[in-house]
Amino acid sequence: MSHLARLSLLVVLSAGLVVPAFASPTPSPELAELVETLAEEDAWDGARVGYAGVRTERRAAWERFATLASVDELLSLATEHPRPGVRYGAVRALVDRGADDKLPAWVMADDAAVMTCPGGCICDSDTVGAYLRRIRDSQAG
Q: What's the rounded mean pLDDT across residues 57-82?
A: 93
pLDDT value for 1: 53
Q: Distance (Å, rounded) from C-alpha 43 to C-alpha 38?
A: 8
Q: Are strands 122-126 and 43-48 parallel, antiparallel or unpaired?
A: unpaired
The 3-class SS string of the chain reads: CCHHHHHHHHHHHHHHHHHHHCCCCCCCHHHHHHHHHHHCCCEEEEEECCHHHCCCHHHHHHHHHHHHCCHHHHHHHHHHCCCHHHHHHHHHHHHHCCCHHHCCHHHHHCCCCEEEEEECCEEEEECHHHHHHHHHHHHHC
Checking if the pLDDT of 68 tops 70, the result is: yes
pLDDT value for 98: 93
Contact indicator for 114, 84 with CB cutoff of 8 Å: yes
**Comparison of pLDDT for 78 and 17, the residue scoring more:** 78
**Comparison of pLDDT for 106 and 117, the residue scoring more:** 106
Checking if the pLDDT of 3 tops 50, the result is: no
Checking if the pLDDT of 83 tops 70, the result is: yes
Q: Distance (Å, rounded) from C-alpha 86 to C-alpha 94?
A: 12
**Comparison of pLDDT for 115 and 22, the residue scoring more:** 115
pLDDT tens column, 27-59: 789 999 999 999 998 888 877 776 677 788 888
Q: What's the rounded mean pLDDT across residues 93-101?
A: 93
Predicted TM-score (pTM) of the model is 0.73
